[in-house]
């Protein structure tokens, strides 16, 4: 059975005409805060199976992500537990491109994950040529970055993200 999808304009029209849906945004809390469809509830993809009871049984559930990919993956995870799942075609990006309303609850600062990726990437870009041209000892930097990334994936916590979260630019503005 193929996944049922709705375009942003069709979903908006149906919502405007009073049709009821439970809108579930499966992106990370940071992505959700940066802009989501009005009325959407944040239920990150990695929590979906554990939070089955948060899904309504009387209204169709529309799964939303940034571009549609994670929503389709979440639909596959949940279809054994819920009969009425729909994926928003093109996700939040398509919704925004259709100039439909969006709720923003966060500032425009870079997410911690993007900051971690930029620092790790920069460390790798600098250390690799230094190891090749200057001294083999510089290979310890990419090795440490790799260990850190593996550890973050294995434990669900990232030491660099924790450290970055304490930096002045990532603190709440007063």
pLDDT digits 0-9 by tens, 4-20? 999 999 999 999 999 99
Active site residues: 65
CATH of residue 83's domain is 3.40.250.10
Domain boundary among 32, 65, 97: 97
Distance CA 138, CA 135 (A): 6
In a domain, 138, yes or no: yes
Categorize the per-residue pLDDT at 174 as very low, low, confident or very high, splitting at 50, 70 and 90.
Answer: low
pLDDT of 108 higher than 80 = no
Same domain, 18 and 93: yes
Q: What is the pLDDT of residues 111-162, one digit of tens each?
A: 778 888 999 999 999 999 998 899 988 889 999 999 999 988 888 888 888 8
Give yes or no: residues 67 and 40 share one domain.
yes
Which pLDDT belongs to residue 56?
Answer: 85
Predicted local distance difference test score (pLDDT) of residue 110: 76
Mark whether 79 and 126 lie in a shared domain.
Answer: no
Position 104 in a domain:
no
Residue 103 falls inside a structural domain:
no
pLDDT in tens, 39-98: 999 999 999 989 988 888 889 999 999 999 999 999 999 988 888 999 999 999 999 999
The span from the CA of 147 to the CA of 166, in Å, is 22
Q: Are residues 92 and 44 in the same domain?
A: yes
pLDDT at res. 95: 96
User: Which segment of 24-33, 87-96, 163-172 scores lowest on mean pLDDT?
Assistant: 163-172
Question: What is the residue range of 47's domain?
Answer: 4-97
Task: Domain count for the chain, please give it.
Answer: 2
150 part of a folded domain: yes
Please indicate, yes or no, whether residues 85 and 121 belong to a single structural domain of this protein.
no
Q: Given this model, what pLDDT does residue 12 score?
A: 96
The answer on 125 and 78 residing in a single domain is: no
* pLDDT at 172 > cutoff 80: no
pLDDT at 2: 64
| 87 and 16 in a common domain | yes
């Amino acid at each position: 059975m193929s996944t049922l999808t709705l375009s942003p304009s069709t979903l908006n029209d149906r919502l405007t005409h009073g049709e009821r849906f439970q809108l579930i945004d499966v992106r990370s809390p940071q992505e959700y805060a940066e802009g989501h469809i009005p009325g959407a509830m944040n239920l990150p993809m990695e929590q979906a199976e554990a939070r089955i009871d948060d899904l309504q049984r009387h209204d169709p559930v529309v799964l939303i992500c940034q571009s549609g990919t994670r929503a389709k993956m979440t639909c596959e995870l949940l279809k054994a537990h819920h009969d009425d799942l729909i994926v928003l075609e093109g996700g939040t990006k398509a919704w925004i491109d259709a100039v439909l309303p969006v709720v923003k609850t966060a500032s425009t600062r870079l997410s911690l994950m993007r900051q971690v990726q930029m620092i790790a990437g920069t460390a790798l870009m600098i250390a690799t040529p230094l190891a090749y041209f200057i001294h083999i000892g510089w290979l310890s930097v990419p090795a440490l970055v790799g260990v850190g990334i593996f550890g973050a994936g294995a434990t669900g916590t990232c030491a660099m993200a924790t450290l970055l979260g304490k930096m002045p630019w990532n603190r709440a503005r007063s």
